[in-house]
Amino acid sequence: ASTTKILTALLAVEYGDLDDIITVGEEVQMLAWDGSKAGLEEGEVITLQNLVYGLLINSGNDAANTIAVHIARKVSGESLDTQEALDYFGGLMNQRAREAGAKNSHFVNPHGYHDPLHYSTPYDMALIGRAAMENELFCEAISVTFVKTAFWTSKLPRFWVSKNKLINEKFSECYYENAVGSKTGYTAKAGHCLVSFASKNGQNLVTAVMKTESGEQWAETRGLFEYGFDNYKYVNILKQGTIVDRLMVDNCTSDDSGSLAVEISAEDWGDVLQKKDIGQIKQDIVWDPSLLSENSTDDMNLLEAPINKGQKVGELRLTLHGRELIRVPVTAVRSVKRKKAAVEILTPDQTAVKESPAKFNWSPLVTAVIAVIIIMWVTILLIQRKKQRRRYFSPRRYWW
């Protein structure tokens, strides 16, 4: 249905220049008679900005075709004929939808008129709507409820007034004060559809309803917004540079306390959560096993020095009801040096002694031995002389 035009408008503001001057061509004749139109005429000259207004405010299928042909020729850089340009634009639509995360959609025309090969889901259209709302020009265009085309067309001025009851205060029974934009859609097969955007207290929501009965789309959308704002909240959960733990480092130098803080090194991160779940988020750190000391226990993890400042030492994991939300790296806030191995420190002289042990001093022993020998020799000599004397005085001497 015509909620398709959100994607067409997004491509217009992403690829085009809103000041582009466009001549309306035969594409405005290539439409079903019962489709909604902005009243464009072939040969008319109009700005791209005004075409986007005619697309979103008046839900003009003719504006959709004119935008598609212009953007296709501009992006391709070729002089495509009208049908080739419309087909080319269909390819751009499907590519952009996939980029937005829409996996169950397929688009074959820029306006959403019924075709068996043209389909989407509420979830996919919400994803496409979210991507569109990230574009400032789209945000401005989707919020406009009235346009007078006097200064942007070669034809008579037109007055386009939004009939979207969610954003037009004239329809007080359906008006929603927090709505910032909305796009209607209808076909017999799709029923009444509505993709809407609202903002409250800094929180932005997107809703999508399809196949509702006439009038139900307004109440259902309002109810979805109120439920969302009452029960969900965007929470900034992780902030870069936050200290998340402190632990000891084993085998650090004696002048280091060994206490090391670790911090989140990833960019800030947040998510939309149910308010009742915000306090249920659990966090734990999965340490790099290659950096853990062998002295670590089940109750206390120790890192092994050395550790460098900024070094990744593990990952911070957030879980909610057992479901992992995100993992981010944690890094050391400072360096921790490793202590040197214990060795005996020797002076050069001591080292020489260690390496070349001193030889035994033989001098005293030699002296003692010589002295003993001399004494023994003298003793023997004295004994021999004494014997000689005895022989000299002995009678036996006379026998000779």
List the catalytic residue out of 36, 37, 59, 120. Answer: 59
Dist CA 236 CA 268 (whole Å): 8
Burial class (CB in 10 A: 0-12, 13-18, 19+), 94: middle
Type of residue found at 290: S
CB atoms within 10 A of CB 229: 16
Dist CA 39 CA 63 (whole Å): 9
Helix (H, G, I), strand (E, B) or coil at 221: helix
Dist CA 105 CA 97 (whole Å): 8
Known active-site residue 162: no
Type of residue found at 380: I
Dist CA 20 CA 48 (whole Å): 5
Q: Please identify which residue in the block is written with the tokens 């969302």.
A: 228
Contacts of 217 (CB under 8 A, 6+ apart): 184, 192, 193, 194, 209
Type of residue found at 77: G
> Comparing C-alpha atoms, which of 253, 354, 345, 254 is closest to residue 307?
253
Known active-site residue 59: yes
Dist CA 70 CA 107 (whole Å): 18
> Comparing C-alpha atoms, which of 313, 307, 303, 309 is closest to residue 334?
309
Q: Please identify which residue in the block is written with the tokens 């003298």.
A: 378
Specify whether the CB–CB gap between 350 and 369 falls below 8 A: no
List the catalytic residue out of 2, 36, 120, 162. Answer: 2
Dist CA 62 CA 5 (whole Å): 11
Please give the C-alpha separations between residue 268 and each of 125, 203, 239, 261, 325, in angstroms, as whole numbers: 28, 17, 4, 19, 14
Element (H, E) at 398: none
Specify whether the CB–CB gap between 287 and 301 falls below 8 A: yes
Catalytic residues: 2, 5, 59
